Amino acid sequence: MSDDTTKAGPDPILLSEALTTFETLWSPRIVTRVNDYDVRVAKVRGDHVWHVHDDTDEFFLVLDGTLDIALREDGGERTVTLDRDAVFVVPRSTWHKPFSADGASLLLFEPSGTSTVGDRHDNVPEHVDATTGHALEAP
């Protein structure tokens, strides 16, 4: 058995501290990885961009504030509102646009390498970081 299988993981990470290490909106930081998934935190305010992830669902947990997610579904458009502690999953292949009038902090869970603007998207505004996540700086 290799030493790697007997070692404990890294030190615990406080999400509240992780969120103090950056200010950039719509630019998630990778807190840790679980198997082939990134656990990311992000600060958001204003509009993101209409986009779709063809092959993966997208998990949202609101840590603070309120997040709205507009969805384009077969029956038309609808918006879900997520307050603090709310969880929502956008199903794969669903066009969606997150937005927050007053700002929010989020935890996102998605396969490593997933782009923040999906596989297809509208024009990406300057304030939205088209990334697969940035490394988290030490708090």
pLDDT computed for residue 67 by the predictor: 98
Task: Give residue-wise pLDDT tens across range 16-35.
Answer: 999 999 999 999 999 999 99
CA distances from 6 to 1, 3, 32, 64, 114 (A): 8, 5, 19, 36, 30
d(CA 122, CA 127): 14
Task: Give residue-wise pLDDT tens across range 74-86.
Answer: 889 999 999 999 9
Q: Which residues are within 8 A (CB) of 1 and not within 5 positions of it... i.e. 6 or more apart?
A: none
Q: List the structure tokens of 57.
A: 């669902």
Q: Where are the alpha helices (DSSP H) in 7-135?
A: 15-18
d(CA 44, CA 100): 7
Q: What is the CATH number of domain 15-135?
A: 2.60.120.10
Task: Give residue-wise pLDDT tens across range 47-104.
Answer: 999 999 999 999 999 999 999 999 999 889 999 999 999 999 999 999 999 999 999 9
